[in-house]
Amino acid sequence: MNNMPQRLVFFALGIVINSFGVALITLGNLGTSAISSVPYVCSLQFPMFSFGVTTFIWNILLILLQVVLLRRDFKPFQFLQIMVNVLFSAMIDVSMAILGVLHPTMLWEQFLCIGLGCVALAFGIVIELAPNVVVVPGEGVVRAIAKVSGVRVGTVKAVFDITLIIIAAVLSLIFFHGLRGVGIGTVISAVLVGPIINIVNRVFTFQHCIQALALSRDGR
């Protein structure tokens, strides 16, 4: 298919940037991103499993949920999400290792980590979506729920993120009798990433060049 190698490169780049964004938010030590909150809390409770490993397991569950929801509408190519999961999960551990030298202790340092993580996550999402290759498991399950329920994707996404935060908070209370891995940083990332994506799409044009690769493939 025309331009597929280039599109895959940009898609992978977006996934890598996403992982660094999640790691930055997490290292702010005020909670991680909503989509990563459940696996992160589990990684704290079961330290024999890295954040990347629990992320991989969690995303496999999200892919299986799509299969259950969509049934025959779940197309074979959507199993490519497994490969996406492998890359993202591996890069989570790599990002946490590389950025592990950061030990923000002052509140402004923690908020700076969260802010930079939100910006990185927003840029990563824009780059990841532009090639129109395959969705990540988190987005895939949101689209699946929207399709079977008839509810708009944006609404499902908001409810889905809130649900993940609640699940992570409940698990944290069960495991630690307090909140660990979930906090103000989780809320900030949930609130900020969407608006930052909108700003990126308004201010920058690089994503249109990436999108053009997909349009060229389709002959439009």
86-105 pLDDT tens trace: 999 999 999 999 998 888 88
- Cβ contacts of 55 within 8 Å, gap of 6 or more: 36, 39, 40, 85, 88, 89, 92
pLDDT in tens, 169-214: 999 999 999 999 899 999 998 888 888 888 888 888 888 888 887 7
Residue 219 is predicted with a pLDDT of: 43
Report how far Cα 162 is from the mean position of its chain's Cα atoms: 14
Q: How far apart are CA 183 and CA 27, in angstroms?
A: 12
The DSSP result for 163-181, as a single string, is HHHHHHHHHHHHHHSS--S
pLDDT value, residue 6 = 86
* Helix axis angle, 81-98 to 51-70, nearest 10°: 160
3-state secondary structure 44-73: HHCCCCCHHHHHHHHHHHHHHHHHHHHHHH
Record the pTM.
0.87
Sign of CA dihedral 169, 153, 143, 23: negative
Kindly state the percentage of the chain with pLDDT values over 90.
51
The model's confidence at residue 110, banded by pLDDT at 50, 70 and 90, is: very high
CA distance 38 to 41: 5
Q: In this model, does residue 69 exceed pLDDT 80?
A: yes
Check residue 202 and give its pLDDT. Answer: 87
Quick one: average pLDDT of 109-123? 93
pLDDT range class, residue 2, cuts 50, 70, 90: low
Please, which residues have CB within 8 angstroms of residue 59's CB and are 6 or more apart in sequence?
81, 85, 88, 89, 136, 137, 138
* Alpha-carbon span 70 to 82, nearest angstrom: 17
Q: How far apart are CA 162 and CA 168, in angstroms?
A: 10
Please give the Cα distance from 53 to 49 (Å, whole number): 6
The mean-pLDDT minimum among 23-27, 62-66, 202-206 falls in 202-206
